[in-house]
């Protein structure tokens, strides 16, 4: 049994995992759930408890035995799981980049002076401000369809969303501009799916092993280590993105002041990462460089 949120994107992700497991001979059903994060739409996540609000109810279902695994967008998963739970599998990443969606403007540069751009991500807010200080960044909550509806109603000139979600739902044609990481650094874990289990379910860890993608797992481990070392919550305007080249992982991170303080603090590092501990150590070194540069 797979525990999943009931948004269209979450259900797509759970169905994707279900199909892969069924192809390997497993019997799989879905347990759809509405989480607290889905219910609270009038305040930013950073003010109501962070992205862990999207996973808590799913973990309760695992704990009670109503579900065996939970499928998450990895960027929604807290950096430290509660005791008794484990990340059993990280799957191959979809496009990790951010995307601009706009009915009338083909790029960020084409937006008129003072245009309203929607996002509730502090990371996207500080990165957008560094690129276009003149823009008005306004809160935007809700699932992907809700955000697009608010855009189409004319409340925003553009919104910034994860390219992965748009592509998974067949909405790639809505993308006007995809931001290269050199321009807008993604969030830790963006575009990757993680599968959570109870830590004592070694049978599930073995069953999920064929779905794991080690290059993605190494990259997101480094990214999440940066976030964990910096405090590990979505109330932090932090970006971290890693890419594996052979055996060498390159990790870039950025931090900005959401109150509009000094320019972005950036740090990067690279090194051989034969396993997850080495990837995590790289993330901790880059986080230390961020703090040395003035990040809080």
| Rounded to 5°, angle at Cα 141 from 232 and 186 | 45
Q: Which residues of the chain are under the pLDDT cut of 50? A: 37, 39-49
The pLDDT value given to residue 173: 97
242, 253: one domain: yes
| Residue 185 resides in a domain | no
5, 85: one domain: yes
- CATH assignment of the domain containing 159: 3.40.190.10
Q: Which of 76, 95, 98, 252 is catalytic?
A: 76
Domain holding 11, by residue range, is 1-94+191-212
- Confirm whether 98 is a catalytic residue: no
| Residue 292 resides in a domain | yes
| Residue 82 resides in a domain | yes
Give me the sign of the Cα torsion angle 245, 126, 231, 199.
Answer: negative
230, 260: one domain: yes
The pLDDT value given to residue 48: 42
The pLDDT value given to residue 40: 45
The pLDDT value given to residue 234: 57
The pLDDT value given to residue 78: 87
The pLDDT value given to residue 79: 87
The total number of structural domains in the chain stands at: 3
Segment 255-282, tens digit of pLDDT:
998 777 668 999 999 999 999 999 999 9
The pLDDT value given to residue 235: 66
Cβ neighbour number for residue 116 with a 10 Å cutoff: 16
- CATH assignment of the domain containing 282: 3.30.160.40
201, 76: one domain: yes
DSSP 207-241: HHGGG--HHHHHHHHHHHHHHHHHT--TTS-EEEE
Alpha carbon distances (Å) from 126 to 47, 86, 184, 236, 274: 17, 32, 10, 10, 33
């Amino acid at each position: 049994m797979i525990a999943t949120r009931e948004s269209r994107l979450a259900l797509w992700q759970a169905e994707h995992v279900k199909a892969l497991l069924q192809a390997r001979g497993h019997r799989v059903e879905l347990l759809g759930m509405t989480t607290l994060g889905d219910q609270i739409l009038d305040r930013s996540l950073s003010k109501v408890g962070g992205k862990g609000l999207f996973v808590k109810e799913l973990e309760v279902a695992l704990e009670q035995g109503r579900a065996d695994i939970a499928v998450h967008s990895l960027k929604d998963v807290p950096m430290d799981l509660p005791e008794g739970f484990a990340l059993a599998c990280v799957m191959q990443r979809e496009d990790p980049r951010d995307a601009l969606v706009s009915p009338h403007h083909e790029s960020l540069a084409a937006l008129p002076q003072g245009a309203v751009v929607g996002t509730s991500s502090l990371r996207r807010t500080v990165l957008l401000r560094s690129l276009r200080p003149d823009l008005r960044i306004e809160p935007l909550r809700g699932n992907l369809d809700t955000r697009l509806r608010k855009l189409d109603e004319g409340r925003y000139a553009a919104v910034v969303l994860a390219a992965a979600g748009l592509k998974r739902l067949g909405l790639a044609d809505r993308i006007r501009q995809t931001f290269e990481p050199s321009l807008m650094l993604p969030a830790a874990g963006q575009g990757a799916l993680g599968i959570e289990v109870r830590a004592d379910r070694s049978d599930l860890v073995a069953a999920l092993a064929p779905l794991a993608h080690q290059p993605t797992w190494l990259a997101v481990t480094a990214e999440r280590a940066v976030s964990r070392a910096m405090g590990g919550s979505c109330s932090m305007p932090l970006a971290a993105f890693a890419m594996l080249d052979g055996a060498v992982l390159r990790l870039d991170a950025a931090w900005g002041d959401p109150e509009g303080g000094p320019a972005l603090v950036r740090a990067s590092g690279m090194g051989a990462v034969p396993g997850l501990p080495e990837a995590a150590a790289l993330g901790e070194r880059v986080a230390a460089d961020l703090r040395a540069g003035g990040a809080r």
